[in-house]
Amino acid sequence: MDARIFCGSANPELAQSVADQLGLPLGKRLLRRFSDGEVHVRLEESVRGRDVYLLQSSCPPVDQNLMELLVMIETCRRAAAGRITAIIPYYGYARQEKKSVGREPITARLVADLLTVAGAQRVVTVDVHSPAMQGFFSITMDALPAAPILIQYLKRKRQPDHVVVSPDLGRAKLGDKFALGLEIPLVVLHKDRLDSGEVQIQRVIGEVVGRRPIIVDDMITSGGTIEKSVEALLEAGARPEVTVVATHGVLVDNAVQKMENPAIVEVVVTDTVPVSPEKRFPKLTILSVSELLAEAVRRLSEDRSIEALYPQGQ
């Protein structure tokens, strides 16, 4: 495979795992910051005419990691790389894909424009928060699903009294995929977000009495939605044996403390966002998306379709 894989400072372990599965060395680059915080990148090997894959999540610190990625793209463009693909396992700013009230930005579109102007010719991400934002790109944007990885893990622990729970109406389609894959019922929570930013669960749509919930979401950020969802499920009669599943374990603020709720028996995330040692707790399980990303790189570098990476062609 005549390709090069480089990474920024966000996901070096994941990038190394992807490179190992492809039998490629991780590209050598010099990444440093000047005293005023400006990032500087220099490639230490030629990329002229080659396919280049740049792996970097825009996870916290979001702006720093995003700027690193933009500078790496610009560096490869000026080094005459053949094709530049930005692999962004976790796409920050994806929740700012529309105007909820007046005088707000659509920052997800801005980030798409920045990536394109910098020189990316394709973007690959995993479980983007708002799939419709693929329309923001004038270049190809692929949002790979992590659901098959998570469902395969959950199948080994599935019990007859389990039920999939979507924490809001917006995640109902994702929850339905898990319910179909696990062959168990789906329950949907009706959630409102108050002006203060706090979450309030209005009602539980579906039967949870005596059942063990599996709450499915695309990310765990501060953990507020999960916290309120667990409270609502227990009040509705669910068993205090809740499993929480999400692709992106961002885990900021006091999210870890919220996940240590005694009613939560396991929290399952992927490595799209690196979890630092101090945020790892006994109930946390981290699954890797390295095989998924490696197969995507393999297929793209060979000009083959990546449709097979989507369940049932979706």
Q: Are residues 46 and 107 in the same domain?
A: yes
- pLDDT-derived band of residue 195, with 50, 70 and 90 as boundaries? low
Q: What is the pLDDT of residue 197?
A: 59
Q: Are residues 172 and 298 in the same domain?
A: no
Q: Are residues 178 and 189 in the same domain?
A: yes
The closest of 312, 17, 288, 313 to 152, measured between CA atoms, is 288
Determine the structural domain holding residue 32 and report its residue range: 3-144+290-313
Q: Are residues 130 and 85 in the same domain?
A: yes
- Higher-confidence position of 313 and 202: 202
- Please tell me the total count of domains within the chain: 2
The closest of 172, 212, 174 to 189, measured between CA atoms, is 172
Q: What is the pLDDT of residue 229?
A: 95
Q: How many C-beta atoms surround the C-beta of residue 196 within 10 A?
A: 7
Residue 131's identity, in one-letter code, is P
Residue 107's identity, in one-letter code, is T
**Which of 74-78, 168-172, 252-256, 273-277 is predicted least confidently?**
168-172
Q: Are residues 168 and 84 in the same domain?
A: no
Q: Are residues 99 and 218 in the same domain?
A: no
Q: Are residues 219 and 281 in the same domain?
A: yes
Q: How far apart are CA 102 and CA 42, in angstroms?
A: 42
CATH of the domain at 57: 3.40.50.2020
- Higher-confidence position of 80 and 197: 80
Q: Are residues 64 and 151 in the same domain?
A: no
Quote the DSSP letter at residue 28. Answer: P
Q: Are residues 102 and 199 in the same domain?
A: no
Query: Would you call 191 a catalytic residue per the annotation?
Result: yes
Q: Are residues 203 and 86 in the same domain?
A: no
* Strand 186-193 versus strand 199-205 pairing type: antiparallel
Q: Which percentage of the chain shows pLDDT scores above 70? A: 97
88 vs 58, 69, 80, 138, 289, CA distance in Å?
A: 7, 9, 22, 17, 12
Active-site pick, 191, 228, 279, 283: 191
Q: Are residues 28 and 135 in the same domain?
A: yes
Q: Is the pLDDT of residue 144 over 70?
A: yes
Q: Are residues 262 and 305 in the same domain?
A: no
Count how many Cα atoms sit within 13 Å of the Cα of residue 174 in the half-sphere of its side chain.
25
